[in-house]
Homo-oligomer: A and B are copies of this chain.
């Protein structure tokens, strides 16, 4: 069974990310997941900024989160991210967010590759096949 590369990104909670419940707003985690995904992409050898510049978007078409705890202002959380499914035209990332030892959120995002020029779904760019297979733990 393949073991995907799992990266961990420390993220300092921003005051603006809290709400009047006195904890991090549930949408803020979506932004953190994106930060971790950016960092994981960079592990492939191609930054997501380069991938876009090269003519492709990795468009989000699905999003799922489960909250089992709360992050607070003052915390530095740890956001883990890995490739959980690798298709020829799609990609799923898994995420876990920790506050110390406690997992406060887990989730996934589902993506399709899109050609920037025409906005149409397409296959994964050829140059990324090997690097992403490596991220996914298949090589």
Contact = CB atoms under 8 A, between A and B. Distances in A.
Contact of A18 (B19, B26, B47): B19
A76 to B, nearest CB: 11
Report copies per complex. 4
A96 to B, nearest CB: 15
Interface residues of A, number: 38
Interface in A1-55: 12, 14-16, 18-23, 25-27, 30-31, 34-35, 38, 47-50, 52
Nearest to A66: B62
Given A15-B19, A18-B19, 10 more contacts: A14-B31, A15-B25, A20-B21, A20-B22, A27-B34, A50-B74, A60-B67, A61-B67, A62-B65, A63-B65
